[in-house]
Structure 1
Amino acid sequence: MTSLFHDIIFGPVHSRRLGLSLGVNLLPTASKLCSFDCIYCECGWNAEHPGARRFNAREEVRTQLEATLRQMVADGTPPDVITFAGNGEPTMHPEFEAVIGDTLALRDALCPAAKVSVLSNATQIHRDSVRRALLRVDNNILKLDSAFDETVRRMNNPQNPAYTVRGIVEEMKRFEGKMILQTMFLRGMCDGKPIDNTTEEEVAAWLKLVGEIRPRQVMVYSLDRDTPCQTLEKVSKEDLQAIAARVDALGIPCTAA
């Protein structure tokens, strides 16, 4: 069963990639709001969760985050990371840059050892305010699931018809390595058609783009939660590690989870 996050602050949860992670959801708490409609999204299809397109207010986010961090620090369990994720794409929030500023100030004051991470599908990185904000956080983790537009349309279903992989890659290059690239590898069927971004053609083309973007780190992973398309298959740890080794060979560290 896919499910939404019904709070602004959620967790903490133990993240495979980030440690003890306190989640921040800038998106509506009763509906999904995303510029992608991924076949593997743990929140389900966009159409399953229609509702008010209301972002959580900046002040409410700050107040709730401060209260939670104070409690966690008082309990002796400060988070390793504060992670922006939730019911869609966090960088769509109209005050995203200001929210990041608030969060960094709270982190510095209350739990300076914690990292601030943003999980993003990279669709908004052409906006100056979003890019500025992402360059301020510790881990700006940007998604690129395939080198091919056709595969991205199948896997991620960008809601903007103008989306192209080349356009996103050019925007990623503007980060000059100050970003983490994240890629979901999977195979199986969806809507009666096969999908597989682990083929040699897919991986070789993706590696070429990784070499162009030169992120400071790459994270490759596969399915770990329920997906809206039920006929997808998890890629084995061995296969992920084989892909990671090819990224390492480019001189870019890569983790497989």
Structure 2
Amino acid sequence: MPALAKPLPEYAGLKPWKLPEGILYGPFPTRRKGRALGVNLLPPGDKACTFNCVYCQCGWTPVEVFRSGEWKAKCPSLEDVRRGIEEGFAGLLAEGNAPDAIVVSGNGEPTLYPQFEEAVDLVLAGRDQWFPKTRTMVLTAGTELGRADIRRACDRLDERCVKLDAGDAKTLKRIDIPLVPFTLDGLVKNCAKLRDVTIQSFFTQGAVDNTTEAAIVAWLDRLDEIQPVEVQVYSLDRVPPAKGLKKVARAELEAIAARAAQRLVVPAQVF
């Protein structure tokens, strides 16, 4: 499914998002981490992801291109990543524009980058040299966590934020539309191999609804299996590619977060 050329009228008021054209983007204000500096290891201006989420601010994943593997040739080289980090970090420091967080995310699933472990080492070396007090994190769908090298790289960062939008396979397939083999049982198993994990969950109503009682109970059960150190819940903030999604009211999100906090006895926040 192609990305929308412009936002649907039903999403008037939501923020648009432009895919980063370079290795670094920002710093930009976020609802969670203050001023965040993004690191994009994927093709500039193109999306590559193992999921095709109905709400993704990056638009639809180009399925045929992703499955063909053609996108890999467009990824920046490791030398490009090193140069981009060194020049970008040094420039921000000279401007007095230090970020509050460095987030490895970008145009899709960051762990797809062919030399992800080495790239993370470059991010950490740059952080240590230019912004030693800034925390680092990765945002991931978790589809590649079955690989030891990906887990090692994620564990070197200060925070591992993994997506969990549903606790049952049927709901997850409607929201996230996996493009690779993926099971919730596998995600639980692989999260347990990380030193700790923060779970980030998107909630929506309308064309797809994961706020029903059955969906919430299934989600809570999966959280109980994963045992994250923190849970983050949110709803629509940027323009999604799918039609008919409805933003969940903050009061309802607060109630969902409260149930997670009570069940797990860990911080659960709405953003």
TM-score with structure 1 setting the length: 0.93
Aligned pair partner of 1:32 in 26, 31, 47: 47
Partner residue, 1:135 = 155
Deviations 1:186-236 (A, max 9, x none): 1111xxxxx111111111111111111111111111110000003111111
1:185 and 2:203 matched: yes
Give 1:64 shift.
1.1
Classify 1:19/1:52 alpha carbon distance in 2 versus 1 (closer, same or farther; 3 Å).
same
Q: Distance in 1 between matches of 2:81 and 2:230?
A: 29
Map 1:192-203; keep pairs closer than 5 Å: 195-203=208-216
Classify 1:49/1:63 alpha carbon distance in 2 versus 1 (closer, same or farther; 3 Å).
farther
Partner residue, 2:241 = 228
Instruction: Give SS of 1:119's match.
Output: strand
Partner residue, 2:29 = 14
Partner residue, 1:64 = 84
Classify 1:159/1:82 alpha carbon distance in 2 versus 1 (closer, same or farther; 3 Å).
same
User: Which has the larger strand fraction?
Assistant: 1
Kindly indicate whether the alpha-carbon contact (under 8 Å) linking 1:10 and 1:22 is maintained by their aligned counterparts in 2: yes
Q: Number of residue pairs matched?
A: 250
Partner residue, 1:153 = 173
Kindly indicate whether the alpha-carbon contact (under 8 Å) linking 2:48 and 2:62 is maintained by their aligned counterparts in 1: no
Q: Distance in 2 between matches of 1:238 and 1:49?
A: 40
Aligned-residue sequence identity (percent) comes to: 39
For 1:107, give the aligned amino acid.
R
Q: Distance in 2 between matches of 1:185 and 1:52?
A: 30
Give 1:76 shift.
1.8
Gaps of 5+ in 1: 190-194
1:253 and 2:262 matched: no
Partner residue, 2:129 = 109
Instruction: Give SS of 1:82's match.
Output: strand
Partner residue, 1:166 = 185
Kindly indicate whether the alpha-carbon contact (under 8 Å) linking 1:81 and 1:117 is maintained by their aligned counterparts in 2: yes
Q: State which drifts further: 45-54 or 137-146.
A: 45-54
Give 1:48 shift.
8.3
1:73 and 2:93 matched: yes
Q: Distance in 2 between matches of 1:167 and 1:58?
A: 30
Partner residue, 2:225 = 212
Q: Distance in 1 between matches of 2:25 and 2:116?
A: 18
Partner residue, 1:192 = none
Q: Distance in 1 between matches of 2:147 and 2:79?
A: 22
Deviations 1:28-56 (A, max 9, x none): 11321111111111111113895743222
Q: Distance in 1 between matches of 2:155 and 2:265?
A: 22
TM-score with structure 2 setting the length: 0.88
Gaps of 5+ in 2: 1-6, 8-16
Kindly indicate whether the alpha-carbon contact (under 8 Å) linking 1:139 and 1:180 is maintained by their aligned counterparts in 2: yes
Instruction: Give SS of 1:151's match.
Output: helix
RMSD across aligned positions (CA): 1.6
Partner residue, 1:55 = 75
